[in-house]
Chain A
Amino acid sequence: MKKTGRILAAVLAVVLALGTLAGCSQKSAQQSSLETIKKNGKIKVGVFSDKPPFGYVDAQGKNQGFDVYIAKRFAKDLLGDESKVEFVLVEAASRVEYLQSGKVDLIMANFTVTDERKEKVDFANPYMKVALGIVSPDGSQITDVSQLKGKKLIVNKGTTAETYFTKNYPDIELLKYDQNTEAFQALKDGRGAALAHDNTLLFAWARENSGYTVGVSSLGEQDTIAPAVKKGDKELLDWVNNELTALEKEKFIHEAYDAALKPAYGDSVSADDVVIEGGKIQ
């Protein structure tokens, strides 16, 4: 048994060392981010692959959507060409890590501004408004949160919907998935009574998928969605904010809305309910 003890001690030592190493790696990246981006000739932007119409990959394998549309414009104004953006596909729960570990310069993956997230990343000014919604099958529609008692609610890991229900309704059982596609498939398979997500996403999804209605269209507080940079990356943050102000003159976010969101919403949603121009809520 002496040998076993020694092995255990060695293993623990290695684990602790790994933990310490992970702790050390945080301070290193405070050099000029804009210069690095310009030198590399490309900006790495984290977007979704499975959240149409905000960020998705089309049949040709190209990134498309509202967030992507705006990110391309950023690349054009920063580097002179909209092709100089490298899209990195992220999951909801991994968005903060992608920034922290320097795998992306900017997150434009429909990232809702929250206090918890503000502690870990820096948000630029917002470009979109959002609240939570609940979508459910027509036959057994959920029109009020109280109807969810004793039922399973599907959410996506790392989204505001998950945090909201964990905090405010701890007795509703949550079924949590990594990807939007999996979560919506689970709803279709009847694994939960309803699905909670950003209402802006649910409106588009319910319009595409007959038999489902957004029974609760606005829940919790009205939040905003903004580009995010690594904590302390003030240069890029300022650039994005100035860019958003500059784009206001040509109503560019409205243009992005017309190009990417209008086809998905039809006339069911008004542009001003979603779009924020110039980084300021009017």
Chain B
Amino acid sequence: MDFGFIIQSLPLYWKAAQLTLTISVWAIGLSLLLGFFCSLILYFQVPVLSLIVKIYIEISRNTPSLIQLFFLYYGLTQIGLKLEAELCAVAGLTFLGGSYMAEAFRSGLEAVGKTQIESGLSIGLSRSQLVRYVIFPQAFSVSMPALEANAIFLIKETSIVSAVALPDLMFIAKDLIGMYYSTKEALTLLVLFYLILLLPVSLLLTALERKVRYGQFGN
């Protein structure tokens, strides 16, 4: 191990980690939003839209994310649409994450018992009250673990954006290997930085889960 080299490369990795994090935050936020709306469309069986959502989910979940990214970056330019690499990365990961988030939300929504809804209706709750006070709180608590897993999945999935010349963690590691051939140091730093990034997120999400699911865990 060349520790001088490691210390020298730390700033590069730090900068790359920030990019990885920025892309992750955008991608997770937007996929939550997209997934949420898609799940509502599926749950309330909105005509036409729910068919579109179903097709979207199948396409998104059954094509590799790297290929989705390549399509956005290299494919769209063929029809004259040139998107910046950052935009491609966020759009690509949102496209991927949205479907996973939608399925996570949907499983939560469907887990809310029929009796709950009927009881709500019988005491005269309006449809929107029913959604706000009965369905969502319970659905969200059930979806929580799956949403967390998806968030972490998306952070890890950002490692593909180096393919479109974005200097994220993976990119820096490969670049250092290519230029200075210090494979050991570059790869060890790569693993460490992903851990530094993901461990706190993981712990934070677990804490959040306990809070959201106090019904199960107790206060």
Asked if A186 and B195 make an inter-chain contact with CB atoms under 8 angstroms apart, the answer reads no
Residues of B within 8 A of A97 (CB): 177, 181, 183
**A15 near B191 (CB under 8 angstroms)?**
yes
- Nearest-neighbour CB distance to chain B for A68, whole angstroms, equals 22
Number of A-B contacts defined by CB within 8 Å:
73
How far is B175's CA from A159's CA once the two chains are assembled, in angstroms? Answer: 10
Of the four ranges (under 10, 10 to 19, 20 to 34, 35 or more), the interface on chain A belongs to 20 to 34
Most buried by B among A4, A19, A94, A117: A19
Q: Which residues of B contact A185 (CB under 8 A)?
A: 74
A162 touches B192 (CB 8 A): no
The answer to the question of B203 belonging to the interface, with a C-beta cut-off of 8 Å to chain A, is: yes
A1 nearest CB neighbor, chain B only:
B203
Report the minimal beta-carbon distance from B4 to chain A, rounded to whole angstroms: 15
Task: Establish whether residues B74 and A11, one from each chain, have CB atoms under 8 Å apart when the complex forms.
Answer: no
Write out the residue numbers on chain B whose beta carbons fall within 8 Å of the beta carbon of A157. 174-175, 178-179
- What chain A residues lie within 8 Å of B217 (beta carbons)? none
- Contact check, B178 vs A162: say whether CB atoms are below 8 A apart: yes
Cβ contacts A97-124/B at 8 Å (1 or 0 each):
1001000000000000000110110000
Contact assessment for A23 and B184 in the assembled complex, using a CB-CB cutoff below 8 Å: yes
For B74, B82, B179, B180, the residue with the greatest tally of chain A CB atoms inside 10 Å of its CB is: B179
Are B179's CB and A162's CB within 8 A?
Answer: yes
Contact mask for chain B residues 161-185; partner A; CB cutoff 8 A; 1 contact, 0 none: 0110101000100110111110110
| Central interface residue in A175, A176, A185, by most chain B CB within 10 Å | A176
A93, A175, A186: the one within 8 Å of B178 (CB): A93
Q: Is the CB of A176 within 8 A of B184?
A: no
Which residue of A119, A166, A176, A191 is within 8 Å of B171 (Cβ)?
Answer: A176
Contact, CB under 8 Å: B180 / A189? no
CA distance A189 to B78 in the complex (A): 8
Chain B: interface residue count, which band?
20 to 34
Q: How far is the CB of B9 from chain A (nearest CB, A)?
A: 13
Inter-chain contact A116/B192, CB cutoff 8 Å = no
Minimum CB–CB distance from A33 to chain B (whole Å) comes to 20
What separation, in Å, do the CA atoms of A279 and B79 have in the docked complex? 48
Which residue of chain A lies nearest to B185 when distances are taken between CB atoms in the complex?
Answer: A19
Does A178 sit within 8 A of B, measured CB to CB?
yes
Q: Decide yes or no whether A59 CB sits under 8 A from chain B.
A: no
Are B184 and A19 interface neighbours, CB within 8 A? yes
CB closest residue in chain B, given A179: B163
Q: Which 8 A-B pairs have the closest CB atoms?
A: A158-B178, A93-B178, A189-B77, A19-B188, A157-B178, A120-B181, A96-B181, A175-B165
Ordered by A's residue number, 27 sampled pairs between the chains whose C-beta atoms are within 8 Å are: A4-B203, A8-B199, A11-B195, A15-B188, A15-B191, A18-B191, A19-B1, A19-B188, A22-B187, A23-B1, A92-B178, A93-B175, A94-B178, A96-B183, A97-B177, A97-B183, A117-B181, A157-B178, A158-B175, A162-B178, A176-B167, A178-B162, A182-B74, A189-B74, A189-B77, A189-B82, A191-B85
| B interface residues with partner A (beta carbon < 8 Å) | 1, 74, 77, 82, 85, 162-163, 165, 167, 171, 174-175, 177-181, 183-184, 187-188, 191-192, 195, 199, 203
Task: List 12 extra interface pairs beyond A4-B203, A157-B175, A191-B85, CB under 8 A.
Answer: A19-B1, A19-B188, A22-B188, A92-B178, A93-B178, A116-B180, A157-B179, A175-B165, A176-B165, A178-B163, A190-B82, A191-B165
